[in-house]
Amino acid sequence: MGTTTVRTQVGIVGAGPAGLLLSHLLHLQRIESVVMETRSRAYCEGRVRAGVLEQGTVDLLIQSGVGERLQREGLKHDGIWLSFGGTRHFINMTELTGGKSITVYAQHEVITDLIKARLDAAGQILFGVQDVTIHDFGGDKSENPAPTIRFRQDGELFELRCDFIAGCDGSHGVCRPSIPDGVIKTYEKVYPFAWLGILAEAPPTSDELVYALHERGFALFSMRTPKITRLYLQCCPDENIANWPDERIWKELLLRLSSRNEGTHDAWVPATGAIIQKGITPMRSFVAEPMQFGRLFLAGDSAHIVPPTGAKGLNLAAADVQILAKGLAEFYSSGAKNTLNDYSRTCLRRVWKAQRFSWWMTTMLHRDEDASEFDHRRQLAELDYLIGSRAAMTSLAENYVGLPMD
Ligand SMILES: Cc1cc2nc3c(=O)[nH]c(=O)nc-3n(C[C@H](O)[C@H](O)[C@H](O)COP(=O)(O)OP(=O)(O)OC[C@H]3O[C@@H](n4cnc5c(N)ncnc54)[C@H](O)[C@@H]3O)c2cc1C
């Protein structure tokens, strides 16, 4: 069987937030791209993951013309509650950051909006492709062969020739492992806990997210819509979800989140309801350096993973592709490569700050069974210091709403 060869400017592997947003931003700069994705459109639009958008991500989506539904349906939040020792404490992030906030809008809704925008603009997203491999991306001179993505669709072989490849294929994709050995250095930290997350048909009983440290471990109350709550509880990384029937999940969540259980004044309790989705997510920090090799650029989870406590994964993906789109636009309009050459360095400065924040939130709010009683007391002292110091609260707030791009 023959191979069909097609040509584009930027070949994008992966239709997650990074790949789709990059394709959209390039389109606004009149740069052509093709996105290829192993999963179906329905799978991508239904995959439940993150939901907290930083101020900068919201601004980017609105300014680039894909924020209409986000503005209508997204839930803007001015702060978070920290719950420990039986009491909830409010951190007003909007006040502490001069008016910034975060917006809760589910990742799969962002995906749905981006896919619609690309297809409405006759953009090319190839869903359900197989056997994706990337080639000839190492040299960055024009005399080198063009970077090529080979893949199969409906049994037919294709070869996509492009000027650049964007590896937006997540943590288990093919792009990062295709870079020759010795080029990339990786940094990893695996945490001794995971998150059991649920979506429940239960109206949110708090306007703001509640992060709780209980002696039985971490719990998080958040929401997706005025009728749906999203809740998480700390569990073991090797936990079997079959051991968690709905009653056990609710019992544990109520114990860890309800401040009334420990005799406090506000007697807050989350509402319970039918659990419509549940799953376990392990927690790790990971960074690959550099994020570029020749004419291949890694963006989002393909280059870095953060534990979800700081709500940074999706936001980092958006920040990476904003910089990459700027570099590519500069290259196609003037031939200048300054921003492209600096892509990795620019992204990594911010990535490492987000790693630090996500690690800090994670270690402050989770109970490590192997830690000493001294460590547990220190954790409580850290939280106590935090809620009593405007400087400490400001530091949390400015990281949570998102650090500046540069
Ligand atoms: C299970 C899970 C739960 C999460 N929950 C939270 C959360 O609660 N809060 C939070 O802040 N963050 C969460 N995250 C992190 C956040 O969702 C990610 O940081 C974000 O999705 C990164 O976007 P991305 O586009 O880089 O990667 P992805 O969203 O992973 O997208 C990569 C895309 O590439 C596709 N792909 C993979 N391999 C190939 C291939 N060979 N060829 C073509 N396509 C390919 C994949 O199917 C996928 O669509 C979660 C992540 C996961 C995995």
Question: Which protein residue's CA is at the shortest distance from atom 5 of ligand 1?
Answer: 49
312 is catalytic: yes
Best CA proximity match to 214, nearest among 262, 275, 153: 262
17 is catalytic: no
Rounded to an integer, what distance in angstroms lies between the CA atom of residue 149 and that of residue 11? 7
Q: What is the pLDDT of residue 406?
A: 66
Query: Which residues fall within 8 angstroms of residue 393, CB to CB, at 6 or more apart?
Result: 91, 96, 386, 387
| Residues 88, 92, 93, 97, Cα dihedral to 10° | -150
Q: Which residue has a Cα nearest atom 12 of ligand 1?
A: 50
pLDDT digits (tens, 9 = 90+) for 200-258: 999 999 999 999 999 999 999 999 888 999 999 999 999 999 999 999 999 999 999 98
pLDDT for the residue 139: 82
Q: Which protein residue has the closest C-alpha to ligand 1 atom 7?
A: 50
50 alpha carbon – ligand 1 mean position (Å): 9
- Give pLDDT, residue 289: 98
Closest-CA residue to 14 (of 4, 23, 5, 6): 23
Q: Is the dihedral of CA 85, 87, 93, 95 positive or negative?
A: negative
Look at ligand 1, atom 3, and give the residue with the nearest C-alpha. Answer: 49
Task: For residues 354 and 308, give the distance between their C-alpha atoms in angstroms, rounded to a whole number.
Answer: 11
**φ, ψ for residue 183, nearest 5 deg:** -80, -40
What per-residue confidence (pLDDT) applies to 1? 62
- Is residue 310 in contact with ligand 1, taking CB distance under 6 Å? no
SS (H, E, C) 70-136: HHHHCEEECEEEEEECCEEEEEEHHHHCCCCCEEECCHHHHHHHHHHHHHHCCCEEECCCEEEEEEC
Active-site residue 400, yes or no? yes
Q: Which of 204, 307, 308, 366 is catalytic?
A: 308
- 171 phi, psi to nearest 5 deg: -75, -20
Distance of CA 234 from the midpoint of ligand 1 (Å): 21
Cβ-contact 367, 256 below 8 angstroms? no
Tokens 């492209």 found at? 340
CA of 51 to the centre of ligand 1 (A): 12
Catalytic residue among 100, 108, 312, 366: 312
Main-chain phi, psi angles of 387, to 5 degrees: -75, -10
Does ligand 1 come within 6 angstroms of the Cβ of 179?
no
User: So what's the pLDDT on residue 258?
Assistant: 82
Q: Which residue ranges of the chain lie beneath pLDDT 50?
A: 261, 264
Strands 274-289 and 185-201: antiparallel
Tens-digit pLDDT profile for residues 121-137: 999 999 999 999 999 99
CB 171 within 8 A of CB 200: no
**Is any ligand 1 atom within 6 A of the Cβ of residue 11?**
no
- Determine if ligand 1 sits within 6 Å of the CB of residue 14: yes
- Whether 179 contacts 26, CB under 8 Å: no
CB-neighbour burial class of residue 142 (10 A; exposed 0-12, middle 13-18, buried 19+)? exposed
Q: In testing the pocket of ligand 1, which one of 314, 347, 399 has its CB within 8 Å of the most ligand atoms?
A: 314
167 lines ligand 1 (CB under 6 A): no
